[in-house]
Amino acid sequence: MNFEDIQCIEDLAVVSEEVVWQNFERLAAFIFEKNNFRVKVNTVKTYQKTKRQYDVIAWKGNQTFLVECKKWAGNRYRLSAIKKAVEQHKERTLFYETITHEDAIPLLVTFIEEEIPFYEGVPIVSIQKLNSFVNDFDGYTQGNLFYDHEDDIADEDDLACEDDLPLPEQWGE
């Protein structure tokens, strides 16, 4: 399925399940693009012989998201893997900020909705809720700190279905 064909949450669920992990990263980038972000996928930054790779970097205004995408299967325990991924991603975020002099927001995007919405201040968002998260981001934050807002993540679906389908060009509205 072409990402442009996604019209509702069920379409997004099917596409996200069927894509290989590389295209899962592109799907996350697509959602940011539909919300008027400039994006780069699979970017490597190097400084003093140290390299770090970023699945998705998304910019809009003064916001920079560094997105780590994890398309883990649902049949294994993931909590310890999530914690390790967040810790590694925080280190990559610090590396990025050091070499670019940009403030960056680390974000973990997963295939399955996880039992914890944040870990060490890093949002953990399922691909199906990414559009809502991006649209409502300013309401979740105060500066770039998430610690005081851990219970504020809405449980609503990202996209309506049936009669009130948003067109892809309306996703960012």
Q: Tell me: the pLDDT tens digits for 80-106?
A: 888 899 999 999 999 999 999 999 999
C-alpha 92/C-alpha 89 separation (Å) is 5
C-alpha 57/C-alpha 7 separation (Å) is 24
How many domains does the chain divide into? 1
Position 133 scores a pLDDT of 92
- Residues of the chain below pLDDT 50: 139, 141-173
* Residue 153 contacts residue 116 (beta carbons within 8 Å): no
Position 74 scores a pLDDT of 61
Q: Has residue 18 been placed in a domain?
A: yes
Q: Has residue 69 been placed in a domain?
A: yes
Q: Has residue 167 been placed in a domain?
A: no
For residue 72, give its domain range: 3-155
CATH of the domain at 84: 3.40.1350.10
Position 154 scores a pLDDT of 37
Position 19 scores a pLDDT of 59
Position 143 scores a pLDDT of 44
